[in-house]
Chains A and B, each alone.
Chain A
Amino acid sequence: MDESIAAPVSSPSAWAAFGDEIWQGRVRVEQVGSTNVLHCAVDKLAALCERLMSSGEHMFATLVVEDEGAQLLLTYVFYPVKGGAFTHVVIRQPISKLHVPSIAATVPAADWHEREAADLFGLAFDGHPRLGAFVLHDGWPESAQPMRREFDIHDRTSVPSRRDVPEPNRSLDAPGSFSMPVGPVFSDLAESAHFRIETLGEDVSRIAVRFFYKYRAVEKLAEGQPLDRVLLLAERFSGAAAFAHGLAFCQAVEDIAHVTVPARAMVLRAILAELERLRSHAATITGICNSTALAVATSQAAMIEEDLLRLSAFVTGHRYLFGMLTPGGLAIDLPDELCRQTAAQAEMIARHMARLHRLLRQSSSFLDRLEEVGATSSAAAALLGLVGPVARASGVARDIRALFPYAAYREYPPQVPIEMQGDGYARLRVFFREAAESAALMARLAARIPDGAVSLADIALCQGAALGAVEAPLGAAFHWVRLGADGRVLRYHITPPSFANWPGFQFAAEEFAFQDFPIILATFGLSNAECDR
């Protein structure tokens, strides 16, 4: 980005409007590789973002804040919903003036991103009504801004002081209303999070969430670390989607280094990614069956999940595919025969899943609890920027594999299933259909594996930044990596699908009967480890 400052793009007519006439020279358009970078004056930010969103062609991906010492660099990443080039809106704010206009009012998907940046960088997003008490909890030192350069994450001395976090806002003010607290320690095997079910008794009107109980400051830990070390973090911050996140990180690094991994690695990566998707969806289906207390189905789904875990370990040595990736390819090669066996095994397991799906479809008591529960409209899904199977169940068919093909997906495009109802049952159907497609795709991939090396011998690391985009099992994952001159990571920003989708849960879980709460939760299938980082 630094070395390739180009003249303002004038030829593509779509960008003409960003020229001087309207924006009075306050927006400068630049093409970096295939990315459109719009350098923007702070006062034009909101208008520019609104303009980008108004056409309906762009979706907000993530907000990356980077501390450059004297100033903060804010990159608002948008992606075209029909594929093509990413658009980065870049603004710079001196460290002395940490006020930025909030774009959340026009780009609702940016809401949580701004709240996160506000907590971690001490940025004030003017006009955002709900800043504070988001990432940082009781126990964090007063006025700590962990992502700022001067904050030492390894220093434990300042920890014991307690900030007095105010009670979460009650969003329902009615005589006799109260909040039912759920968590952070749940009564079953759920991840730590806190839900406040605002109710008058029985009927729930709203759910207030308090997350980041699992905030491990992964992005901060990555700073200054060598790639190999950061890869461990990328795999392990969300072990259930380790391969996808590791892959996104590796792709970003490969992009910076301007290298292309060997064709064999491309195919093997796709096979393993689909194996992970299959297993993750099996786990989500287990959760959905469990939430409706359908014991036999839960057991069946859990056995399918365990079969896939064993298959993963059989193929790669690790049940969660840890340690398979390396920038430039894969850490070890897998024999073609093994891959074909794996794909065959996966197809057999997929048949078990299809049978389970058929049985579930015939259980009216099960369907009664899922249908019309936690419905998300197509418009809401688009507005909130939902991703992955949850968005696809609401008719928003965004799949990074199809929009920005990576690994072997260009040659082997997946079929992206889509459902329109947006309710719990639609989400279940999407999970089942995607799982079936993953197994089929594995078979297609394993049928013709190119020969050759599985990894580049060596990668010449260079300075720069790139965005790795991967369709993780739960949806689009965006990993922003900036490498320093020494090849170490300067900034690592992860936008996991769970982070994008939790607001969707909050919207779907409104005005419902209390007993549907676990079902809505399970059909979203979200992970707090992934969201909280």
Chain B
Amino acid sequence: MTQWVWEGLTSGIRTTRYPAREERAPGVSPGRPRARQGHEASRNAVASGCPTDAITAGEDGSSIDYRHCVHCFRCSRTTSPAVDWESGYEWAAESEMARVAHRLGHFFRRSLNIRFVDAGACGACMGEVRQVNNPYYNMHRLGFFLTPTPRNADILLVAGPVTLPMQQALRDTYEAMPPPKRVVAMGVCALSGGVFGRGAAVAGGLNDVLPVDVMIPGCPPPPLAILHGLLVAVERKPPQPLISLSGGPSR
């Protein structure tokens, strides 16, 4: 066993300094499109043929709804792009309800127990949420812990487009959690159904099933975006807008 102790000690500290400092390592995030200003962008937006209709034409430029953007890169790889590509990972937004009435307050600033539920997530969201628990991102240092039972959970973290059999399971899980409790939806699927849309098999977003407080867009949201979402849930980081409008960040 000593070899493992040695191995662990000699690995050094690999953990990101986020949120104290910005993480600049390459490959931590795929980035995402940002609305571009100007009539040309507005015209290109119409022609972009965004497969999930995330990009629409605004009055003076394009507009992007992050609830639908699945990082397919189609918009950025054309010769006449309607968008700019931005790096970064602080993507999480608050729902209307959360802003008005659902403050978790100072109680959970130091310690927060999270129950994760897979509501039909593809392996990518699963992989990213597993990474949050691992040395590079190590959410424990921020006071975030996974809990095996909803009985101890403060946050319900959900990924996936919410398949039919998981809808009742989600409600049961939420019901089993003691208040105060908040719901964080991660991944485009959990926000809008993503490429699976809405239909008989999937609810097309968690909002139809549970009251969502924090939304983390991305397909999949990288680990740092998930961390940002959790920090937003406990008000340690400001939320970001969910829709990118040309003419500056607003809703």
Contact = CB atoms under 8 A, between A and B. Distances in A.
A214 B130 contact: no
A302 interface: yes
Contact of A212 (B74, B129, B165): B165
A362 B163 CA distance: 43
Contacts of B127: 239-240, 283, 305, 309, 320
A528 B150 CA distance: 22
Interface stretch (A183-191, A383-391, A436-444): A183-191
B66 interface: no
Interface in A155-187: 155-156, 158-159, 184-185, 187
Interface in A220-266: 220-221, 228-229, 232-233, 236-242
Interface stretch (A13-21, A43-51, A138-146, A423-431): A138-146
Contact of B168 (A138, A146, A191): A138
B107 interface: no
A317 B73 contact: yes
Contacts of A359: 3-4, 7
Interface stretch (A291-299, A374-382, A480-488, A501-509): A291-299
A141 B116 CA distance: 28
Nearest to B196: A216
Contacts of B123: 238-241, 527, 529-530
Given A187-B149, A310-B27, A529-B126, A153 B199 contact: yes
A300 interface: yes
Nearest to B165: A137
A139 B134 contact: no
Contacts of A192: 117-120, 166, 169
B30 A313 contact: yes
Contacts of A187: 148-149
A273 to B, nearest CB: 16
Among A155, A187, A306, A331, chain B packs the most CB atoms within 10 A around the CB of A306
Interface string B127-171: 111110111100000000010111000000000110111111100
Contacts of A81: none
Nearest to A298: B134
A314 interface: yes
B186 interface: no
A294 B5 CA distance: 11
A322 B72 contact: yes
B100 interface: no
B121 interface: yes
B220 interface: yes
B168 A216 contact: no
Contacts of A527: 123
A529 B4 contact: no
A184 B201 contact: no
A318 interface: yes
A319 interface: yes
Contacts of A97: none
A323 B74 contact: yes
Contact of B130 (A146, A189, A212, A216): A189
B97 interface: no
B5 to A, nearest CB: 7
A339 interface: no
Contacts of B125: 239
Interface string A207-220: 00000111111101
Nearest to A322: B71
Nearest to A287: B130
Contacts of A298: 134
Contacts of B219: 236, 322
B26 A139 contact: no
Interface in A313-333: 313-314, 317-320, 322-323, 331-332
A313 B120 contact: no
B8 A299 contact: yes
A187 B152 CA distance: 12
A189 B3 contact: no
A187 B118 CA distance: 11
Given A153-B200, A221-B199, A299-B134, A240 B29 contact: no
23 contacts: A140-B164, A141-B200, A154-B200, A185-B150, A187-B149, A188-B148, A191-B118, A192-B119, A192-B169, A213-B163, A228-B51, A236-B194, A283-B127, A299-B8, A309-B27, A313-B27, A317-B73, A319-B27, A319-B128, A319-B222, A320-B127, A529-B121, A529-B126
Interface of B: 1, 3-5, 7-8, 11, 14, 25-31, 51-52, 70-74, 77, 115-131, 133-136, 146, 148-150, 160-161, 163-169, 172-173, 194-202, 219-220, 222-223
Given A137-B165, A241-B123, A313-B28, 16 more contacts: A140-B200, A144-B200, A187-B148, A213-B163, A213-B169, A214-B120, A215-B163, A215-B201, A217-B202, A296-B5, A299-B134, A302-B130, A305-B127, A319-B128, A359-B3, A359-B4
- Ordered nearest first, which 4 A-B pairs have the shortest CB separation? A240-B123, A239-B124, A310-B27, A187-B148
